[in-house]
Amino acid sequence: MSIKDIQNEIIDEFSMFEDWEERYQYMIDLGKDLPLIDNQYKTESNIIKGCQSKVWVHAELQDNKITFTADSDAIITKGIIAILIRTFSNQHPKDIIDADTDFIDAIGLKEHLSPTRANGLVSMIKQLKMYAIAYQTQLN
């Protein structure tokens, strides 16, 4: 599936819920289903800077596609990173670099987060794209 297809799928899923209480619960559930990062990658160098809670992200390049794993010590934050990993994992680095993140606004996520969580969301996206840039450089 392309990044755009996955984003559209997420928009459709979020539109099924009537209010933000249900959407938060859905994000918590997504976080619970997140494939956990291996403990060896829960290091200071894998923590995303700019997040209020701890978020660890690890990236590996396999068959020219990046696979992300992550974890967080906060349930909502874990749901947020789960959405981003679902969107960007198993994609080519160039596709991740070129992808827009308008779907975040389409589901209304940013406006329903506290300012510190919204900043964390931006930091998560930036970090995933930085991994993509690093791997794209290796591929060139």
| CA atoms of 47 and 63, how far apart (whole Å) | 25
Q: How many helical (H) and strand (E) elements, i.e. helices and strands, does the chain have?
A: 6, 2
Q: Cα 12 vs. chain centroid, distance in angstroms?
A: 17
Nearest to 82, CA basis, from 126, 33, 42: 33
71 is catalytic: no
Provide the 8-state DSSP code for 93: H
Active-site residue identified among 51, 84, 104, 121:
51
3-state secondary structure of 40: helix
Nearest to 72, CA basis, from 101, 96, 45, 52: 52
Q: Please name the helix (run of DSSP H) or strand (run of DSSP E) that holds residue 3, with its range, or none.
A: helix 3-15
**Catalytic residue positions, numbered:** 51
